[in-house]
Structure 1
């Protein structure tokens, strides 16, 4: 608590007022070996998250990247049913970097879940994220880093409008719709239209990867909060969710940043413990997935064990 007060004092931040603050992890639809995740996987991970030693059951929310079940064309992801059965709140994800046809299938899957699962599902929906780091991947910096296919500001704006049209008159009508990206993307002038279109901004922050400035672990706190301040500077008072952050326990050195168990624990203690209970936060991550680079591990637990790799008590 003292650290949290010091951070607020040092950086001038005040916890964003909200009806409820959520705490959870990010969950990909694919395991780190490339296999599809199904209902048993999501159910098991959601239960593991809520029962992590030292966390007092506070990891009771989940952020998803897609609404489509892996291996299908447009079936609702089984994580939705697992969320109902484990009383887990969901930040719904709609993948937006695979073109208009795939985005339409994302909406089809989401609307099918709304119809099939009813209020048991929609009551657990925190909000809907249209895309994840699409703007970064389509930027010059993303292309230089071989970040993969992205989407332009105009495309994301169009998808947000499309999503609003599709959920109008359904039980999801009125749920906040946002987008997730990096602070460098949020502050880019060409993306101002996306900022105007969303109800919330999802902020992904990985000081470990910020090689354009000093990024050793002892600089991580300053780098994290300064990046968040940049996103908030363009948010216009809209809520900013911490949608991804963490430090790897294993991986190659990134400029000054060293991946180690001690540094992962230190980042969790300094950043995570200052955020939890104060801001809606989705830590990266409970278990590694296909979204994680093969030689890097951000997971707080191994895939086959519920035992944390370090003490998670704040």
Structure 2
């Protein structure tokens, strides 16, 4: 799989062990539903940065919601964090607001804080749009940021099952990178089978992407294991299994693929994939890799 120009330049200046992006998905809301302030974004970024893996990358879901980029970008710059930016593609009013928020952040802070830009998140999986309509939005956002001098890649995030669907080839063609969401837990996999189940989804997606548009990167934009929640077949949610999945999948993926773990915090969701509790304490041991 070839490097893009941007990623080749990054790899050239980073130590080998840091040649892949490794990060967390971080939501814009606090446990009480309020929106994060700039100080709270800084706290989250510093907490992640303090891990032994020295993680300085995050994926954010939106640009305008909770004034995400308005507050998160200054926090990222202050903490040396870089962002995989999310632009919601649904609906048209929301999409317009998201583009405006991204444009404003670039005008205010340049673009060095950007890892890449994802237009949409699991829209194909949910059936919220057509592949052709989503592809046009990817071209639209890319055109906007290229006109501003931004060279980072623009792509889309979706489930691995959406990427291997032939009906969605137009989106693969439109993307600079492919963001894969894969959860062995939701595939009813026992924890002992989870490692192979995860990597099988990556391989299947890579094969489809290479068949449609050879050479494009497949990133893992979401994966994780829940610390609590219902069982799915042989998949059991527990702190022990979440740690096992981290030790097996995260520790290998950090050295072989761009990956963003789900999630920094998940609060009271069920199933809950949060790695840190509402007090900012790690729920399971993140050392060991």
Fold conserved between structures, TM > 0.5: yes
Q: Distance between the aligned counterparts of 1:195 and 1:56, measured in 2?
A: 31
Residue 16 of structure 2 is matched in structure 1 by none
1:15-94 residue pairs with structure 2 within 5 A? 19=11, 20-52=19-51, 55-57=52-54, 59-70=55-66, 76-94=69-87
SS at match of 1:168: helix
1:163-174 residue pairs with structure 2 within 5 A? 163-172=141-150, 174=151
Residue 106 of structure 1 is matched in structure 2 by 98
Residue 182 of structure 1 is matched in structure 2 by 159
1:1-314 residue pairs with structure 2 within 5 A? 19=11, 20-52=19-51, 55-57=52-54, 59-70=55-66, 76-96=69-89, 98-118=90-110, 122-138=111-127, 150-172=128-150, 174-211=151-188, 215-236=189-210, 237-288=215-266, 294-314=269-289
The Cα shift of 1:311 comes to 4.1
Structure 2: stretches of 5+ with no match in the other structure? 12-18
SS at match of 1:221: helix
- Whether the 8 Å CA contact 1:63–1:92 is kept in 2: the answer is yes
Q: Distance between the aligned counterparts of 1:94 and 1:265, measured in 2?
A: 31
The Cα shift of 1:32 comes to 4.1
Superposed CA offset, 1:148-180 (max 9, x none): xx32212211111110221132132x2100101
Residue 5 of structure 1 is matched in structure 2 by none
Structure 1: stretches of 5+ with no match in the other structure? 1-12, 139-149
- Whether the 8 Å CA contact 1:22–1:277 is kept in 2: the answer is no
Q: Distance between the aligned counterparts of 1:171 and 1:40, measured in 2?
A: 29
Q: Distance between the aligned counterparts of 2:70 and 2:233, measured in 1?
A: 38
Q: Distance between the aligned counterparts of 1:49 and 1:157, measured in 2?
A: 33
SS at match of 1:265: helix
TM-score by length of 1: 0.82
- Give runs of ≥4 in structure 1 deviating > 6 Å: none
Q: Distance between the aligned counterparts of 2:61 and 2:249, measured in 1?
A: 23
- Whether the 8 Å CA contact 2:56–2:81 is kept in 1: the answer is yes
Q: Distance between the aligned counterparts of 2:47 and 2:286, measured in 1?
A: 15
SS at match of 1:282: strand
Q: Distance between the aligned counterparts of 2:230 and 2:34, measured in 1?
A: 25
The Cα shift of 1:295 comes to 2.2
The Cα shift of 1:26 comes to 0.4
SS at match of 1:78: helix
Superposed CA offset, 1:246-266 (max 9, x none): 001111111111011111111
